[in-house]
Structure 1
Amino acid sequence: MVEKTELVELLTPAGLTLLDSIDVDALASDPVSTVARLREAGHAPALVQAVLTQARLRRKAVTKFGDFASRMLFTEAGLEQATRLRVAAVHAGRFQAAGIRSVADLGCGNGGDAMALAALDLDVTAVDSDEVTAVVASYNLAPFPSARAEHGDAAAFDVDAVDAVFFDPARRTAGHQNTSRLTKPSDYSPSLDLVFDVASRLPTGVKLGPGFDRELIPAEAEAQWVSVDGQVVEMGLWFGSLARAGVRRAALVLSAAGSDELVSDADSADVDVRELGEFVYEPDGAVIRARLIGQLATQVGAGMVSDGIAYLTGDEAVQTPFASVFRVLERWPLDEKRIKRELKERGVGTVEIKKRGVDVDPAAFRKRLAPKGRGSATLILTRVAGRHTALLVERVTSDSR
């Protein structure tokens, strides 16, 4: 937990030096020894608490901020909601490509997006309504001469003083830890009414959750769903010069292999259902959220396995960054006893279970199968041409074809 008293202890030369001296891996493996060492060295309990809290958050932040995490401060809630630095760089690139020079980051959190904007030499004013969070953002932005953080109300910020705005509305309850997700967009802060009003006048970007109600997406906005290493992390709305001409739906897939994107001027219609082929495609979550499954199906020459089911099937394995490909080895009815017997005969002890369109809890189903053996297998539980079906499959890679 990060509170004002902890920041007072931490934001001193001695506090920051002590924080930088902590071996975060050693802290994770043996926290008792780390605490004992710090106390034996004579450090005050409040300082020890503040330093250990930040050290733990820095270690956790590596997945989002990489090496930068070791030089940043965080609140727990701010880190949970923070944009991954790789995604923030994509955001910033839009503003640069549009010729924007000054940006207000309203609802800046710990300052990840503001850092990415400032790294491109844009003039950035980052604002957060929480005082502690604003102080943390100010520390993180200190290395960037063109950026500053303020404690203030995003709704009261004079947007006419900047070229463009980036909003990251608070989608969780107030606080620095143990916050809960807000399920109603009307409860976001700042409100979407304010956000969309600004977007009608200025180039605007808005970061929202991937499950945001599509019915609330303004017709003039470009909606882009982003996945990182297979996890859908956000849906961004882009307005004015930040939106691309002719693009209203986009699925951006970021992975170790690079960056790939499907774009369209609208949702793409599903293709026809066809008989189960030798291969099954599992579209990336960003493609599913963007409703571009039909476009992907056309690219790989596949059809739907069943109406309303986000699996595709075809006779060839076409490698694509937008889907995982599986070879179908066996097809069985979705009968638990049958599946258990088949896996036992094959000596399968490790089972990966994927499912769509069937009322099955994968963890509970796996437990009931009680797999034993040295082998491993992947099951897809779904509907094929409307029938509940279990598919025994193996993943296809470019090396395995």
Structure 2
Amino acid sequence: MDVDTFRALLTDEGQAVLAAVSDPDPAAWPATLTALRWDHPAELVAAAVEQVRLRREAEAKFGADAQRMYFTHDGLDHASHREVAEYKLGRVLDEMGVVFLDVCHLGVGADALVLAWSHAVTAVDGDPLNIAVTTANAAALDGQSTMWIQQEDLTAYQPQGEAVFVDAVRPGAQEGGTDPRASAPSRAWALDTVRGLGAGAVRLGPDVLYGSVPEDCGADEAEWISREGEVQEVVLWWFGEANPAARVRRRATLLPGGATLTGRGLPDPAVRPPGRYLYEVDAAVVGAGLVAEVAEDVGGGVLDAALPACVTSDEAHTTPFATAYEITEVLPYAPAASGALLRGRGAGCPTVRQYGCAAEAAELGQHVAPGGRGEATVFLTRVAGEPTLLLVRPAG
């Protein structure tokens, strides 16, 4: 969708088309679309249909507000979940003590709109479609918010606020320059800009691991944020003079709940054979390289040095940073025999959690019959480098 088509969607004609295709009954769509295409441009009808689909998908991130918002494919894919955006706003309020913010590279404006709940925000992007979508969302959600939206080449932009927030998640925001199609700033530009001001944040994608965060980026903290066990994003924070206390280099935060873990400077956890308990470590903790802290807390070690998500211990502990299971049996990898064993126990279709054994998991699936009775969880991972099956049940 180009910016002209999007602007047409905001006109009275566009809104009428959007309302007409919002019927939740799929049976009504063919007749509705046929009639609309006689009276309205085909690209406008297509944009309205796509907007209805995107709004339904967006409910998972934005709840009921999604039905009043506007989206693009890329903007929705890369937008912060509302819960994550609200959490980040809390950190800004608690730890920065700033009032005037710049937000660069907008997408659908998800972060900028939340920050504008409590701050004066200048929202800047070089893409006219991002500008139009963010403007529409600001009007739809809160016409009185203190947010000024302007189109400008980000590589030439000079922040005016007390802190600057740069979204370096979207396509084009990689080392090596700017994608002219998305007007996305390079990661290098983002780091230089926030570091130069000394307060703000750079938002990175969920696949960033702690080893790939530049050691000389100058950030006070790198935070991995997960929601319901899935990493949503990584945020590099600069707190400025408002946070003079000792800095924490790495942090993992789990939502909902807000449990947070920081590094204690521990060495890599020891490798050991399976104990009585298995702890599946949250992905944010793994991404932040803080598995050693969890292993220490549960008195355990990892099953394989290359697969830190699986910690084992002889002791039962409660931790918000890992899901605990009791290991009931340890089996060498033998897919046919294991499949027969599971079927015999009435667990013909178990949940298989695999770590480092993708090919073996696919092979095991050929020997596990669907439609089994009851539920079972099986971990297929490596123990001392060898694929191994761990039959487990929830601890406690």
What TM-score bracket applies, with the shorter chain setting the length? 0.7 to 0.9
> What is the distance in 2 between the residues matched to 1:294 and 1:322?
12
Partners of 1:329 and 1:393 within 8 A in 2: yes
**Matches for 1:148-187 after TM superposition, within 5 Å:** 148-159=148-159, 161-169=160-168, 171-172=170-171, 184-187=174-177
Q: Using the alignment, how far apart are the partners of 1:206 and 1:324 within structure 2? A: 30
Q: Matches of residues 1-400 of structure 1 in structure 2 within 5 Å?
A: 2-16=1-15, 19=18, 23=22, 25-26=24-25, 31-32=29-30, 34-36=32-34, 38=36, 45-97=42-94, 98-120=96-118, 122-142=119-139, 143-159=143-159, 161-169=160-168, 171-172=170-171, 184-187=174-177, 189-202=184-197, 203-212=199-208, 214-219=211-216, 220-221=218-219, 222-241=221-240, 245-255=246-256, 258-264=257-263, 266=265, 268-310=266-308, 311-358=310-357, 360=359, 362-371=361-370, 373-396=372-395
Change (3 A) 1:260 1:204: same
Instruction: Decide which moves more: 94-103 or 225-234.
Output: 94-103
Aligned-partner Cα distance in 2 for 1:12–1:92: 33
Give the aligned residue type for 2:203. Answer: K
Greater shift, 230-239 or 16-25, is seen at 16-25
2:181 corresponds in structure 1 to none
Offset, 1:334: 0.8
* 1:364–1:108 distance in 2 versus 1, CA, 3 Å: farther
Change (3 A) 1:55 1:47: same
CA distance in 1, matches of 2:11, 2:294: 54
Q: Distance in 1 between matches of 2:105 and 2:222?
A: 20
| Contact in 2 for aligned 1:25/1:59 (Cα 8 Å) | no
What secondary structure does 1:227 align onto? strand
Query: TM-score scaled by structure 2?
Result: 0.87
* Paired letter, 2:64: D
User: Which amino acid is 2:388 matched to?
Assistant: T
Pairs aligned (count): 380
Unaligned runs of 5+ in 2: 179-183
What is the alpha-carbon distance in structure 2 between the residues aligned to residue 390 and residue 37 of structure 1? 58
In 1, Cα distance between equivalents of 2:370 and 2:73: 39
Q: Distance in 1 between matches of 2:223 and 2:237?
A: 8
d(CA) in 2 for partners of 1:170 and 1:296?
28
Corresponding residue SS for 2:133: helix
What is the TM-score with the length of structure 1 in the denominator?
0.86
Cα separation, partners in 2 of 1:163 and 1:363, compared to 1, 3 Å: same
Identity %: 34
Q: Structure 1 residues 272-281 or 353-362, which shifts more? A: 353-362
CA distance in 1, matches of 2:254, 2:98: 25
- CA contact 2:303–2:311 (8 Å) conserved in 1: yes
Gaps of 5+ in 1: 174-181
SS for the counterpart of 1:172 is coil
Moved more, 335-344 or 57-66: 335-344
Moved more, 83-92 or 368-377: 368-377
SS state of the match for residue 25, structure 2? helix
Report the CA distance shift for 1:111/1:276 in structure 2 as closer, same or farther (over 3 A). Answer: same
Once the two structures are TM-superposed, the CA of residue 375 in structure 1 deviates from its matched residue by: 3.5
Secondary structure at the aligned position of 1:201 is classed as: helix
Aligned CA distance change for structure 1 residues 56 and 343 (closer, same or farther; 3 Å): same
Per-residue deviation, 1:262 = 0.5
Q: Distance in 1 between matches of 2:207 and 2:8?
A: 39
**RMSD of aligned Cα (Å):** 2.6
Alignment correspondent of 1:176? none
After superposition, give the CA deviation of every residue in 1:171-200 in whole Å (9 maximum; x if it has no partner): 315xxxxxxxx7x53345312332222222
